[in-house]
Chain A
Amino acid sequence: MSFEEIKEQAILQWKTMQQSENIRILIGMGTCGRAAGAEDILDVLNQELDKQNIQADILPVGCIGLCYAEPLIEVIKPGKPSVFYGNLTPELMSEIIVDYLIADNPRSDLALGTRGEGTLDGIPKLFDLPVLKPQVRISLRNCGNIDPESINHYIANGGYEGLAKALRMKPQEVIDEVKKSGLRGRGGAGFTTGVKWQFCHDALGDIKYVICNADEGDPGAFMDRALLEGDPHVVLEGILIGAYAIGAPEGYIYIRAEYPLAIQRLRIAIKQMEEYGLIGDDIMGSGFKFHIKIKEGAGAFVCGEETAMMASIEGRRGMPRSRPPFPAQSGLWGKPTNINNVETWSNVSAILAKGADWYAGYGTEKSKGTKNFSLAGKVVRTGLIEVPMGISLREIVYEIGGGIPEGKCLKAVQTGGPSGGFIPESLVDLPVDYESLTQAGSIMGSGGMVVIDEDTCMVDMTKFFLTFTQAESCGKCIPCRWGTKQMLDILVDITEGRGRPGDVELLQELAESVKSSSLCGLGQTAPNPVLTSIRYFRDEYEEHIVEKRCSAMQCQALISYYILPDKCQGCMICARSCPVQAIEGGKRMVHVIDQDKCIKCGICLDGCPPKFSAVVKVSGTKPSDIPERPVPVVAKS
């Protein structure tokens, strides 16, 4: 079957589905959806439809990015715009079926928004909501719209058009087009993709390889997982176009084993491509030959570094080596190799299909196009977003993210994971592009964006990242192996009340050395959290070191719990719940916490009835009038 015939068939299938008289229900079944309980919702949905004798087609889809609203469904009744419902429970699911499917009341009180032509009273258009309005969807265009396990859905929505066009061009023309688009590596460093391809294209070798880096290891990042789960073909199409441009007949996808659903979806996608002749020895009758293999990672963060990744694919310990030679000259098994990350590949097909100028129309002068971010942490609307480069952090946090929960204040935004840094609240109007973020001491990184509020201690947060990088350092080079350990030791001392004057300067000196002398990106960027937290939050370090105080009250060694004698009613709830029996005091006696026994778990604070609120958590100070021993409760007059 030719690609034209395949396309015709796919479009027919898609149209038949769209014009079906049946009710259609799309349910988000990505990892996020499942974790939020989508499987239970699906069960209820099936049972209830059976019970009510309703004919409906159920379609599991990927993540539309509104993770905060999971479990999420989209209900499509023929002739009406579709309606999204979020934060579903089994009870709400049953109500929606009875009210909307049977009684035709779309329940505007429960609906998030509508999509498609027409309107429904009292329900906004989904893409007009503040969470979606500033977004531009190129890479994520199909996520949540199509069945990720159906290649026909992908093709019916313009899939493999980019590849078809590329195959009609000369490889050099494809590279030129990608260069012209201004696309830069979305894995973190931001190297111009077309130039990278050119190096590998120009290199001499009897065989060349392309690799897709799907080893999304940054804690706080899940863009690539969601994309692979929601639309695997968009990534595969990009890889094929790159392989054609470079002249690589073989490719690998290196994906972390922690993403079983993404792996499964990739395997299904590859099998479908083989059936359609989109992978094989003569793709689309052009003579282009390409085969691809999936390599599962085995749990090593450093394997996201390209030379370590290649060592791992070869079956060795994933340890980086010095460059040059760069992979474009000598990569996998010593052959020219081009590595791009999932998101970079996912942008390629649209660039080819719609043209470099169209793509370059988005973004800033030096950072073109869009960028995916996983928005998480202390933000109201967590989720997966795609925004044009150059958007401000403020728009992301406050408009898309809906601000900070519980009326708290924003303290910082962490970008780039353990390799990135903290951007303080004062820089919240910073445009999100490669240069601005680097200038602020952070990096674009792969797209993790963790919002930090006033309750977070920056020293503790820095310690958290260093704990990670220190554990993940492969140990090959000394600056990283010992430098991360030394920095971590100092941070532990500071957070546990053993900080000494001069520690901050020592940390800075160490950080600069590790940054400039480590072998690979892991060590070169590991000091970024240290340097940015000192740069913007030095007062917090001083407070820990000099006053032995943690004002965010996160550092356990620096906090204490006390029971206020004028509030305690001697009810014994806290004393009974204390796991280490550190609370003394009988009925109608003011309770007292034995500070030596207390493990600072906070159970007494959570357990004290709100009408008393007698337990307090403090750092660096002690409330006055705390008795040494239990005393009788003074009756209120």
Chain B
Amino acid sequence: MANTSVSQDAQALVTEQQAAMQKRLNEILPTYEGRQDELIPILQQVQQIFGYLPELAMKRIAKFLKLPESSVFGVGTFYAQFKLVPTGRNIIKVCRGTACHVRGSAQILAEIEKQLGISAGGTTSDLEYSLETIACFGSCALAPVVVINNKVHGRMTVTKAGEILNRGAQ
């Protein structure tokens, strides 16, 4: 009996979340004209709001743009920016560009992976941190660079990376 009520609660929560999502999509989509070249901007906005591309949203977008769902999914999986699963509240991006590589970004990445207990591309189970690698941030003169929640930290060292994490990514 208890189990059933838990799953009913969970079900109710999911339905509630989906309703909220639908409501938000109803607000966003009419600001677009429905042309195919709006697909990427729409996905970018949706991801900015929800932190990832929920399946339900991609289906709605496909309908709105009169595109097969496969096309929307295809674009969603092609570009590195798009995530199909929720990401952590704090996003840590380690630059793996050439200049950063030459100046030791591999060791910094390893240190952060060790501290968080996840590897690049992963998210901690409490959804607190997501760790990503970026091909190049274009801040090469300050290599190596780590970006935490869009704040660029230059001239990084293994020790500094550890300290920043210990302080909580702020």
Contacts and interface: CB of A to CB of B under 8 A. Distances in A.
Interface of A: 31-32, 34-36, 67-68, 70, 216-222, 225-226, 257-260, 295-301, 312-319, 374-378, 382-384, 414, 417, 448, 450, 452, 456, 461, 464-465, 468, 472, 474, 579, 601-602
B74 A317 contact: yes
Residue among A67, A220, A225, A456 with most chain B CB within 10 A: A220
Contacts of A382: 99, 140-143
Given A32-B141, A377-B102, A377-B103, A315 B135 contact: no
B98 A299 contact: no
Contact of B98 (A312, A377, A474, A579): A377
A414 to B, nearest CB: 7
Nearest to B146: A35
Nearest to A450: B98
A468 B135 contact: yes
Q: Contact residue range for chain B?
A: 35 or more
Interface in B77-113: 78-82, 96-103, 107, 110
Contact of B152 (A34, A216, A221, A461): A34
12 contacts: A32-B154, A218-B136, A219-B101, A219-B136, A225-B138, A296-B41, A298-B43, A315-B36, A317-B74, A375-B141, A376-B98, A417-B98
B37 A70 contact: no
Nearest to A579: B114
B40 interface: yes
B98 A300 contact: no
B36 A35 contact: no
A604 B114 CA distance: 17
Contacts of A70: 141-142
B79 A298 contact: yes
Interface string B63-83: 001000001001100111110
B134 interface: yes
B154 A220 contact: no
Contacts of A456: 102
B138 A259 contact: yes
10 tightest A-B contacts by CB?
A67-B141, A299-B80, A219-B97, A298-B79, A220-B98, A222-B138, A219-B136, A376-B99, A376-B140, A35-B154
A382 B103 CA distance: 12
B102 A313 contact: no
Contacts of B103: 377-378
Contacts of A68: 141
B97 A220 contact: yes
Centre residue among B37, B97, B138 by max chain A CB count within 10 A: B138
B71 to A, nearest CB: 8
A317 B75 CA distance: 5
A317 B78 contact: yes
Contacts of B98: 219-220, 376-377, 414, 417, 448, 450, 464-465
Residue in B44, B140, B141, B143 with the greatest tally of chain A CB atoms within 10 Å = B141
Contacts of B82: 298-299
Contacts of B99: 219-220, 376-377, 382, 450
Contacts of B35: 315
A313 B39 CA distance: 9
B81 A217 contact: no
Given A296-B40, A314-B36, 11 more contacts: A36-B142, A70-B142, A219-B100, A222-B138, A295-B40, A298-B43, A300-B79, A316-B75, A318-B78, A376-B141, A378-B102
Contacts of B114: 579
B116 to A, nearest CB: 14
A317 B38 CA distance: 13
B145 interface: yes
A215 to B, nearest CB: 11
A456 B98 CA distance: 12
Residue of A301, A384, A414, A450 with highest tally of chain B CB at under 10 A: A450
Interface string B132-166: 00111111111101000010111100000000000
Contact of A260 (B36, B65, B150, B153): B150
Contacts of A218: 136
A258 B139 CA distance: 11
Given A316-B75, A456-B102, A35 B142 contact: yes
A472 B152 CA distance: 24
